[in-house]
Amino acid sequence: MASFPVDKIRDDFPILHQTVYGRPLIYFDNAASTQKPVQVIRAISGYYETDNCNIHRGVHFLSQRATETYEETRKMVQRFIHAASSNEIIFTKGTTESINLVASSFGKQYISPGDEVLISIMEHHANIVPWQQMCLERGARLQFIPIHDNGELNMEAYRSMVKEKTKLVAITHVSNVLGTINPVKEIIAYAHSFGIPVLVDGAQSVSHLGADMQDLDCDFFCFSGHKMYAPMGIGVLYGKEKFLEAIPPYQTGGEMIKEVHTDGTTFNELPFKFEAGTPNVEGVYGLNAAIRYVENLGLENIRKYENEILEYATAKLSEFDDIRIIGTAKEKTSVISFLIGTIHPYDAGVIIDKMGIAVRTGHHCAMPLLERYRIPATVRASFAFYNTAEEVDSLMEAIRKVKKIFG
């Protein structure tokens, strides 16, 4: 871990330099949301200090400058995820809104009674409920691909579930509970061999693995800024142009309109067709700075360092004979869900919190997955590139304390 400049990196994150309950804050809740470097914070305040203005329609200087940064950022996202065109990049509130958009618009265009949508049992609620609702509305059926006990997707079952009636596959790239990296490339290629489009939920993958639309060849890809060092309330929907052209608008009003007459409305072209109302311009400024930050560190370096932290933490947790790790797939990102004996995760979480360590306890918005394991909750520690092995040691000390109190 010596070559990764973690101390220098930590200097960029002001929030990490505080104490809670008299102890240095240790932030292990990165799967829920990452912290923001000063570069992102400055980009947002800089926007309000010098550029604040509504975009696109103004001819004046500020409006033009803000529009330029907004559209430059769209091109930056295009490059970052290797999309073929910036028309394929839609700014949304985040992954949830991106998936809702596709469920609603794709559903209206392509889903009929008796059709099937295929997702997996490890999905976040954001990649379950929009499909569930759409299937209810359109008389379609939602099917769940099962997983193996170690948290890997059952690929054999997946292959057997793809049928003539299957109209879409929607799958998470990385599970927010198990950390499993799904073989999305293989999943996509198989669905495509039957002409079925695939949506990939990249909320948990993009900050660890990056994303390459040319390599994956998925039809839709969704991610949230706040899970990759950018602000909340900004995210991206990538969609292949042919699908974005074919599906109807999601919301109406504002820049998505070309002309309105009393007898009807024509819609703007891509990507504006899907960006109704005043967009989150400050969020786009922040996303711009976050992408630059991540690219500066280098995704390869990030992945290598985070893997080392994951391996270290997994080894340390395995030293306890009564800790059960939920999710032991071969390919994982830096997320560990676990149970400490029979101690309820909420009880454990309260003690760990008092030691200044932020972990998440609960169902992590993946209730069907926890039902699959017949457990109500887990403790989840999720690591980012600013976390250290010493912080992992502190978590182990906190676990020993939990065991002493409740064990």
21 Cβ neighbours under 8 A, 6+ residues apart: 353, 354, 355, 356
Number of Cβ within a 10 Å radius of residue 78: 20
Instruction: Answer yes or no whether residue 95 interacts with ligand PMP by CB under 6 A.
Output: yes
| Shortest reach from residue 29's CB to ligand PMP, in Å | 11
Report the residue number, 126 or 213, with the smaller CB distance to ligand PMP. Answer: 126
Query: Residue 276, Cβ neighbours under 10 Å: how many?
Result: 18
Tokens, residue 46: 């800089």
If phi > 0 it is left, if psi is from -120 to 50 it is alpha, else beta; for residue 229 that is: left
The verdict on 94 binding ligand PMP (CB under 6 A) reads: yes
Per-residue CA distances from 237 to 78, 89, 91, 201 (Å): 11, 6, 6, 10
Binding string, residues 141-180; x marks residues near ligand PMP by CB under 6 A: -------------------------------x---x----
231 sits near ligand PMP (criterion: CB under 6 A): no
Of 118, 203, 211, 379, which one interacts with ligand PMP (CB under 6 A)? 203
In this complex, which beta carbon is closest to ligand PMP, that of residue 124 or of residue 240?
124
Q: Which of 224, 333, 382, 388 binds ligand PMP (CB under 6 A)?
A: 224
CA 101 to chain centre: 16
Q: How far is the CB of 17 from ligand PMP (least distance, A)?
A: 26
Question: 364-379 burial, b for 16+ CB within 10 Å, e for fewer?
Answer: bbbeebbebbeeebbb
N- to C-terminal Cα separation, the chain: 34
Would you count residue 283 as binding ligand PMP (CB under 6 A)?
Answer: no
Rounded (5°) CA angle 332-336-337:
125
Is 135 annotated as catalytic?
no
Size of the site for ligand PMP (CB under 6 A): 13
Packed helices 129-138 and 95-110: angle between N→C axes, nearest 10 degrees: 20
How far is residue 343's CA from residue 350's CA, in Å, rounded to a whole number? Answer: 12
Q: What are phi and psi of 167, to 5 degrees?
A: -110, -15
Among the listed ranges 91-99, 155-163, 256-264, 372-380, the one in contact with ligand PMP (CB under 6 A) is 91-99
Q: Which is nearer to ligand PMP, 40 or 398 (CB)?
A: 40
Looking at beta carbons only, is 156 or 331 nearer to ligand PMP?
A: 331
Q: Does 34 bind ligand PMP (CB under 6 A)?
A: no
Q: Which residue has the tokens 């392509």?
A: 110
Return the half-sphere exposure (C-beta side, CA atoms, 13 A cut-off) of residue 253.
Answer: 4
Q: Judged by CB under 6 A, which of 30, 35, 105, 127 binds ligand PMP?
A: 127
Q: Which of 103, 126, 188, 297: binder of ligand PMP (CB under 6 A)?
A: 126
Applying CB under 6 A, the span of 46-54, 119-127, 247-255, 336-344 interacting with ligand PMP comes to 119-127
Q: 4 or 373: whose CB is closer to ligand PMP?
A: 373
Query: Active-site residue numbers?
Result: 365
- Binding residues (CB under 6 A) for ligand PMP: these are 94-96, 124, 126-127, 172, 176, 201, 203-204, 224, 365
